[in-house]
């Protein structure tokens, strides 16, 4: 199905014979049903991975940063790669909730909740790496400019400090945005809850929501304001992350296209992760009526667009490295593509630039299996992009006598796998306790569609929940 059907009408975004009530049922059911056995199995696996993360971090703190593979000249390696990787994953959430909201893209309503949740979990995973890379994690609070007796201040001229501000702002606003969106749905769950504890907890967090016109009015204003505030954050966070590299004078890091290029890459990787998780959730919880082919088609198109922007950035960098006639620039890029890390470079190119090109074909945008595979490719490719930028620019520095080849240790690898464990554990908990699709917003879309397509599809127009 394309976004434009034969008669050039808008495709429907909520399928099946839906009423307000059936939507509430279909989505609340996921939370209210008895926890399925598969959930426990999945939780056991991801929980185990999370425990491994804890063990690796404990070992790191007790022993020192040397347990990672970082060493001069590669002083930054998997730690910062993983940091940028996870921060990037988070960007789709804010893009979907803020920017697509401002662009009146109604299809966002089925995926925004899960994408925003993913944002928060990804930011949590990202935070681990710089936090532990400071070495003495117990004094990490020195990163904040606190006026205390020692009179020590962080270096305000360092983008690493701006990261602290940018990421914490981003985390806070994303959390607020997600929470504000959740309030009406939490009230729905409260009203449906059977046990006292559930009723109490959902009740507390729904802040006394009763769905009155006044409530809705305030809610809409708050939502619009938060969308407006989040929009610059989509750009600023990853721009600041890119400054970590681009303000330096290192060839391969210092280039002016970095900020928008990083932002596009972040959205790209984030959409891939949303795609991976939503396809799984759609399959596991049978959400085909809400996450329709139209949604998937649109997501494929966004991945194609952002993947191609990333490809444009790779090409521009390469071209300008030649055009600059600066032999250090030229060496860095030739070394990336044909040096000892050529394998990583070509993984990056194949996964990020070539694989999404398959979405030029409508058939491929309809094929769930292809989508899933490509989304995994993109996740891999975007990790390698950060690895390529960071490690290949460092491993052969200005002094050939210190050139070396970075090798990850088992601690690097297990920490990274562990962070996936944390991410997935949090996501599993989310699917268990909160509505994974924004019930109230999907109802808004349904109301709009009933209005547009006549009233044939649903009976109760004003059903309460």
Partner 1 sequence: MAEKFRLEEQMVQRMRTPLVWSAVVGWIGCFIGYVIDAKQFHFSYLVSIIYFLSICLGALFFVMIQYVCTAGWSVVVRRIAETVMRNIDVCAVLFIPVLIGIPHLYHWVHPEPNDIILQKKAGYLNIKFFVARAVVYFGIWVLISRAIYKHSIAQDEDGKAEHNRRSMKWSAPGILLLFLSGSLAAFDWLMSLDPHWYSTIFGVYFFSGSAVAFVALLILFSMYLRKRGVLSKEITHEHYHDLGKLLFAFTVFWAYIAFSQYFLIWYANLPEETGWYLHRQEGSWLWVSLLIVFGHFLFPFLALISRIAKRNLKFLSFMAMWMMVMHYVDIYWIVMPTLSHHGVHVHWLDVAALLAVMGTLGVVFVSRLGKNAIVPIKDPFLSESLHFENV
**Binding interface with partner 1 (CB under 8 A):** 3-4, 6-9, 102, 232, 235, 239, 243, 246-249, 254-260, 308, 312-313, 315-317, 320, 323-326, 360
Q: From the CB of 206, what's the least distance to partner 1, in Å?
A: 25
Q: From the CB of 349, what's the least distance to partner 1, in Å?
A: 17
C-beta closer to partner 1: residue 58 or 315: 315
C-beta closer to partner 1: residue 203 or 260: 260
Q: From the CB of 7, what's the least distance to partner 1, in Å?
A: 7
C-beta closer to partner 1: residue 208 or 232: 232
C-beta closer to partner 1: residue 39 or 312: 312
Q: From the CB of 356, what's the least distance to partner 1, in Å?
A: 12
* CA 66 and chain centroid, separation: 30
Q: From the CB of 255, what's the least distance to partner 1, in Å?
A: 5
Q: From the CB of 305, what's the least distance to partner 1, in Å?
A: 8
C-beta closer to partner 1: residue 282 or 336: 336
Q: From the CB of 249, what's the least distance to partner 1, in Å?
A: 5
C-beta closer to partner 1: residue 125 or 313: 313
Q: From the CB of 378, what's the least distance to partner 1, in Å?
A: 18
Q: From the CB of 211, what's the least distance to partner 1, in Å?
A: 19
What is the number of alpha carbons within 13 Å of residue 449 lying toward its C-beta? 23
Give the per-residue SS3 of the chain.
CCCCCCCCCCCCCCCCCCCHHHHHHHHHHHHHCCCCHHHHHHHHHHHHHHHHHHHHHHHHHHHCHHHCCCECCECCCHHHHHHHHHHHHHHHHHHHHHHHHHCCCHHHHHCHHHHHHHHHHHHHHHHHHHHHHCCCHHHHHHHCCCCCCCCCCCCCCCHHHHHHHHHHHHHHHHHHHHHHHHHHHHHHHHHHCCCHHHHHHHHHHCCCCCCCHHHHHHHHHHHHHHHHHHHHHHHHHHHHHHHHHHCCCCCCCCCCCHHHHHHHHHHHHHHHHHHHHHHHHHHHCCCCCCCCHHHHHHHHHHHHHHHHHHHHHHHHHHHHHHHCCCHHHHHHHHHHHHCCCHHHHHHHHHHHHHHHHHHHCHHHHCCHHHHHHHHHHHHHHHHHHHHHHHHHHHHCCCCHHHCCCCCCCHHHHHHHHHHHHHHHHHHHHHHHHCCCCCHHHHHHHHHHHHHHHCCCCCCCCCCCC
């Amino acid at each position: 199905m394309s976004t434009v059907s034969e008669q050039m009408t808008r495709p429907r975004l909520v399928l099946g014979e839906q009423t307000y009530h059936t939507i509430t049922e279909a989505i609340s059911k996921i939370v209210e049903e008895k926890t399925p056995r598969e959930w426990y199995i999945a939780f056991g696996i991801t929980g185990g991975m999370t425990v491994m993360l804890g063990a690796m971090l404990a070992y790191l703190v007790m022993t020192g940063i040397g347990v990672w593979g970082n060493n001069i000249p590669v002083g930054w390696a998997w730690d910062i790669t993983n940091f940028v990787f996870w921060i990037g994953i988070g960007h789709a959430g804010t893009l979907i909730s803020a920017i697509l909201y401002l662009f009146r893209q109604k299809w966002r309503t089925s995926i925004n909740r899960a994408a925003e949740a993913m944002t928060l979990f990804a930011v949590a995973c990202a935070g681990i790496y710089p936090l532990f890379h400071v070495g003495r994690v117990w004094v990490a609070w020195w990163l904040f400019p606190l006026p205390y007796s020692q009179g020590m201040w962080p270096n305000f001229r360092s983008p690493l400090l701006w990261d602290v501000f940018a990421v914490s702002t981003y985390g806070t606003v994303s959390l607020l945005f997600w929470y504000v969106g959740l309030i009406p749905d939490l009230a729905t769950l409260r009203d449906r809850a059977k046990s006292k504890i559930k009723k109490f907890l959902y009740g507390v967090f729904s802040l006394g929501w009763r769905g009155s016109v006044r409530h809705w009015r305030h809610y809409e204003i708050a939502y619009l304001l938060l969308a407006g505030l989040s929009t610059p954050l989509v750009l600023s966070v990853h721009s600041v992350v890119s400054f970590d590299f681009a303000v330096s004078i290192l060839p391969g890091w210092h280039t002016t296209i970095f900020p928008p290029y990083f932002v596009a890459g972040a959205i790209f990787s984030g959409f891939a992760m949303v795609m991976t998780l939503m396809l799984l959730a759609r399959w596991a919880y049978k959400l085909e009526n809400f996450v329709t082919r139209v949604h998937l088609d649109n997501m494929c198109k966004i991945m194609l667009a952002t993947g191609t922007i990333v490809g444009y950035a790779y090409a521009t960098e390469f071209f300008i490295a030649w055009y600059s006639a600066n032999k250090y620039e030229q060496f860095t890029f030739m070394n990336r593509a044909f040096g000892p890390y050529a394998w990583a470079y070509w993984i990056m190119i194949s996964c990020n630039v070539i694989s999404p090109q398959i979405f030029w074909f409508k058939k491929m945008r309809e094929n769930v299996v292809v989508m899933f595979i490509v989304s995994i490719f993109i996740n891999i490719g975007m990790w390698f992009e950060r690895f390529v930028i960071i490690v290949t620019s460092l491993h052969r520095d200005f002094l050939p006598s210190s050139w070396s080849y970075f090798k990850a240790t088992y601690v690097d690898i297990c920490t990274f796998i562990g962070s996936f464990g944390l991410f997935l554990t949090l996501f599993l908990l989310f699917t268990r306790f909160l509505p994974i699709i924004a019930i109230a917003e999907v109802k808004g879309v349904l109301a709009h569609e009933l209005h547009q397509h006549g009233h044939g599809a649903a009976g109760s127009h004003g059903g309460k929940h």
